[in-house]
A and B are shown apart, each in its own frame.
Chain A
Amino acid sequence: MLPQTRDADTISSPIVDDNGFLKVEKSPPGVVNDIKLAFFLAVYDVRHRYARSIIGPFWITLQTAFFVGCIGFVFSAISAVSTRDFLPYFAISFVLWSFLSGSTNNSTTTLLDAGGFIKDRGLPAYVFFLQCFFRHLLFLAHNIAVPILLFVFLGGTTFFRVIAAIPGLVIFAGVTLCLSLVVGSLATRYRDVQPVVESLMNLAFLASPIMWKPDLLSGREFLLHYNPVVHLLAVWRDPMLNGVMPWGSFAISLMFLAVLASLAWYALTQLRNAPFWI
């Protein structure tokens, strides 16, 4: 028989006990700990992707600035609006859309990559959807510099209009999180979902007013009314750029969020089977 745990007063070093084991309190397991872990993993992802470069994660910003600049010039010409007017509009829309589509697309493969953590270390599967969401939130935090700079130099919004956009942005982020959970769980269980999600995301990007302005569709407004993405964009973009609160879009977006949230809840209950899927 080997000896059992020793008394605390026989320990000499402050962090290592006489057996060479570290004396550290573990954080109690639970949702708070899971969220912290997910955030930590996300920060690691971002930091290590750009580990060998001097400007680090700001490569993301530079990449977005380049894309927004090029497409902004071309599409303002195509839709015959002034570049000065179009650039901030396109930049903010594109950056937030990338957040939603990036998190959703990424969620389809995130559990497969984390298989070992789930099956061999017993971490709950939802941690990795949170990690994916946080990672894209961090990308967004870098990308947002592009529209902010454009707003500062070209105008287009005011401080109070940005504040008024916050409720809409919260709904948008909520939809992103719930969508990632639902789509990610479905795509892990059924492997043929991933390419479908990817093409739907591309379709939504082109069919929604991100690279073009909604007024281009005059005469065929029904194309906007039945597209949920239009309302999800309107809830923060209308207050931010036009200073109006689109209450109709708020109602539709909140209903959309409620449906997604209940699906996400169902997905969370099904995720206990995730170790069988991966």
Chain B
Amino acid sequence: MASISLENVTLDYPVFDLNDKSLKRRLLTVVGGQREKASVIRALHGIDLEIKAGERVGLYGPNGSGKTTLLRTIAGIFPISGGHINSTGHITPLLGLAIGANKEISAEDNIRLLLRVDGIKPTADVVDSIWDFTELKDKMRRLPLRTFSSGMLMRVLFSVSTAFSPEILLLDEWLSVVDKTFSKKAEQRMEDLVSRTKILVIASHNINMLERVCTRIVCLDEGRIISDEPVVAKPKVEEPLEAAVHDSAITSQGLS
């Protein structure tokens, strides 16, 4: 059974400026008897959040409200400064599509690499089926990613990132591909993916998308939860689906 439970969680984010990053300075202040404390920003204030299996939670709020920080905290990436986190089920954070892709190596090898990172053995069958989903020409498989247009690149990264449905999925923005022919298919894949994960937590600025996808919306401001309400079911409209695809930002265009 998948569940996430945050109890009075606070997170202090240490902000290291140039002085804090210098060992020489640090040693000098210790020798000099002064004790400078690195400045800290309280990024999350007493967060209480209970998520049960089957819920799809949208995190909504302006820039810097702590959406991504909360996702990273749930994923266990940031160590918390206070409170308790209990979660059952395997958490898969997918906070950027292009993470780990290497532009110098071939598309096929990138698929293998990204699968490994997810703990999946990249067998030929798996790689073939991911490649088929991209609908790109077969001869491109062995070309380095840097020769791909940004649209093609997104197809590859999207296909591999969404090939498996994880138990608990954390997303920073809805994943989409801005590509006329591919976007419908990508949207369908995302709908299926979300429907199969036991818990989805997604952060976004796009309230329309969140209301469409989620069962519950948590509003954040300056690291505090200001509202937490279930989404009232609206009559389903077919049209806005495509509009939402173009609205929602593609998480990370550039390669890290």
Contact indicator A275/B192 (Cβ below 8 Å): no
- Chain B residue nearest to A6 (CB atoms) is B196
A81–B23 alpha-carbon span in the complex (Å): 44
Q: A48 touching B21 by the CB < 8 A rule?
A: no
Q: Is B95 engaged at the interface, CB distance under 8 Å to the other chain?
A: yes
A-B CB contact pairs (8 Å), 28 listed: A2-B194, A19-B192, A21-B164, A21-B192, A21-B196, A22-B163, A24-B121, A24-B126, A26-B90, A27-B121, A29-B90, A37-B116, A40-B116, A41-B116, A44-B105, A48-B102, A48-B105, A117-B99, A117-B117, A120-B94, A121-B94, A121-B117, A122-B75, A122-B91, A189-B21, A191-B21, A275-B72, A276-B13
Judge whether B148 is part of the interface by a CB distance below 8 angstroms.
no
Cα A122 to Cα B170 with chains together (Å): 11
- Provided the pairs A15-B125, A120-B93, A120-B96 are in contact, do residues A24 and B23 lie with their beta carbons within 8 angstroms? no
Interface residue total, chain B, C-beta cutoff 8 A: 54
In the complex, chain B residues whose CB is within 8 Å of the CB of A2:
191, 194-195
Query: What is the minimal beta-carbon distance from A51 to any residue of chain B, in angstroms?
Result: 7
Residues in B neighbouring A189, C-beta threshold 8 A = 21
Q: Is the CB of A116 within 8 A of B256?
A: yes
Extra A-B contacts (5), CB below 8 Å, given A5-B196, A186-B23, A192-B22: A44-B105, A116-B100, A119-B95, A190-B21, A275-B72
Decide yes or no: A276 and B78 within 8 Å by CB, A4-B54, A29-B119, A120-B95 being known contacts.
yes
Tell me the bound Cα distance from A209 to B38 in angstroms. 43
Given A22-B130, A51-B105, A121-B100, decide whether A276 and B119 contact each other with a Cβ distance below 8 A: no
Instruction: Tell whether B45 is near chain A: CB-to-CB under 8 Å.
Output: no
CB <8 Å contact, B116 and A275: no
| CB-defined contacts of B116 to chain A, threshold 8 Å | 37, 40-41
Q: A29-B90, A120-B95, A120-B96 are in contact. Are A192 and B77 (CB under 8 A)?
A: no
B93–A27 CB distance below 8 A: no
Any chain A CB within 8 A of the CB of B14? yes
Q: B139 on the interface (CB 8 Å rule)?
A: no
Whether the pair B129, A22 counts as a contact (CB closer than 8 A) is yes
B90 partner residues in chain A, CB cutoff 8 A: 26, 29
Interface residues of B in 77-125 (CB under 8 A from A): 77-79, 90-91, 93-96, 98-100, 102, 104-105, 109, 113, 116-121, 123, 125
Which chain B residue has the least Cβ–Cβ distance from A187? B23
B40-82 residues at the A interface, CB under 8 angstroms:
54, 72, 75-79
9 smallest CB-CB distances across A and B, nearest first, come from A2-B195, A190-B23, A116-B99, A120-B95, A116-B256, A120-B96, A19-B192, A191-B21, A27-B119
B183 to chain A: closest CB distance in Å?
16
Contacts of B54 in A (CB 8 A): 4
Residue of A nearest to B185 (CB): A20
Check if B24 is an interface residue, CB within 8 A of chain A.
yes
Q: How far is the CB of A32 from chain B (nearest CB, A)?
A: 11
Name which residue of chain A comes closest to B95, CB basis: A120
Q: Say yes or no: is A152 at the interface (Cβ < 8 Å to chain B).
A: no
CB contacts under 8 Å to A, within B150-184, are 163-165, 172
**Is A225 an interface residue when CB atoms closer than 8 A count as contact?**
no
A33 at the interface (CB under 8 A from B): yes
- Whether, in the assembled complex, A181 has its beta carbon less than 8 Å from a beta carbon of chain B, the answer is no
**Are B23 and A192 within 8 A (Cβ)?**
yes
Q: State whether A118 and B77 are in contact (beta carbons under 8 Å apart), knowing that A27-B120, A44-B113, A186-B23 are contacts in the complex.
A: yes
